């Protein structure tokens, strides 16, 4: 998401990544499809349907996701 890419996730480490999947789905920033047999259809739709792709891209841009490493590092060093 930080790179502006539409994520397609089909599996995750439960508990550890649950919050990330919830965020992705609630904010409509990407697609979670747990059925691996459905992935070709999901990817095909994403690649061929410009409106669908634009929907996710717009949501990602509007979320204004950025890498906070610089700010966190500065905070740690300054403390």
- Cα–Cα distance, 61 to 8 (Å, whole number): 17
Residue 28 — very low, low, confident or very high, per pLDDT cuts 50/70/90?
Answer: very high
Helix (H) / strand (E) containing 7: strand 7-9
Average the pLDDT over each of 5-9, 14-18, 28-32, 44-48 and give the range with the smallest value.
14-18
Task: Return the CA Rg of the chain.
Answer: 15
* Single pTM value for the model: 0.78
The residue whose two tokens read 């480490």 is 13
Q: Is 24 exposed, middle or buried (0-12, 13-18, 19+ CB in 10 A)?
A: buried
pLDDT 10s digits, 49-60: 999 999 999 999
Q: Is residue 78 predicted with pLDDT exceeding 90? A: no
The residue whose two tokens read 């999947």 is 21
């Amino acid at each position: 998401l930080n790179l502006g890419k539409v994520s397609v996730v089909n599996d995750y480490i439960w508990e550890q990544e649950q919050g990330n999947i919830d965020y992705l789905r609630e904010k409509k920033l990407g697609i979670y499809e747990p059925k691996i047999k459905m992935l070709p259809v999901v990817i095909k739709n994403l690649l061929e349907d410009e409106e669908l792709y634009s929907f996710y891209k717009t949501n990602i841009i509007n979320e204004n996701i950025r890498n906070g490493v610089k700010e966190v590092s500065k905070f740690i060093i300054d403390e």
